[in-house]
Amino acid sequence: MTRLIIAVDGPAAAGKGTLAKALAASLNLPYLDTGLLYRAVARQMLLKNLDPVTESGEEAARNLQPQDLLRQDLRVPEIDRAASTVATQPLVRTALLQRQRDFAAATGGVVDGRDIGTVVFPQADVKLFVTASARTRALRRHCQLHGDATLSDVALQRLIEEIEARDQKDASRAVSPLRRAEGAILLETDDLDAGAVLQKALSIVRNR
């Protein structure tokens, strides 16, 4: 059985999930969306009326159950903000670290997040850093959430600002900040559709 580990990192809404899922399917590997772990911790805190800014998410992270990851209310703006806040808490990150390592240790896998190549799997066989301009990412996120519904200039501007605020929070935190890992290959995706990004990534994996 192959134990290839592929780390896919990058800023918010860059298309990491789309790429990682497609890569995993093409290579017959399991896929782990680590952002979902932070989102689920944030949701569990909010359900208990705990404020992620002032209160610890450690217990929520330790007690996270598989069904908590299946909730339909994890990809909403409230959770975008709360997840990036709990993600700044070192004890939350520590509580989630082993889970992430265990997931891919036996079988390998494609793992997407912010610190996969730097912290979770620094020895990953392939490290990709997927990015695009904030405008492109805002348009992609809108499309992911609302299909081809029209987006006004004001709403687009607001989405861009939210994405930039989250990037800033993710990149400036003290523990496991978002950054390109040593050895990570940069995939600039402004001018590439999902299929083209997948083909590039597959050729990087084949030529590793």
Q: Which of 36, 182, 35, 31 is nearest to 108 (CA)?
A: 31
Question: Total residues contacting ligand CDP (rule CB under 6 A)?
Answer: 16
Sheet with 185-188, strands from edge to edge, namely: 31-33, 109-113, 5-9, 126-131, 185-188
In the numeric block, which tokens belong to residue 108?
């390998």
Residues 11 to 40: which contact ligand CDP by CB under 6 A?
Answer: 12-13, 17, 34-35, 38-39
In terms of CB distance, is 7 or 27 closer to ligand CDP? 7
Rounded alpha-carbon distances, angstroms, from residue 35 to 39, 57, 69, 151? 6, 15, 10, 25
Q: How many of the other CB atoms lie within 10 Å of CB of 169?
A: 17
Options 58-66, 79-87, 125-133, 148-156: segment touching ligand CDP (CB under 6 A): 79-87
Q: Identify whether the C-beta of residue 159 lies closer than 8 Å to the C-beta of residue 141.
A: yes
> Binding string to ligand CDP for residues 132 to 171, with x set by CB under 6 A, is what?
----------------------------------x---x-
Work out whether 43 is an interface residue with ligand CDP (CB under 6 A): no
Among residues 52, 109, 113, 117, the one that binds ligand CDP under rule CB under 6 A: 113
Give me the residues that bind ligand CDP (CB under 6 A), please. 12-13, 17, 34-35, 38-39, 83-84, 87, 113-116, 166, 170
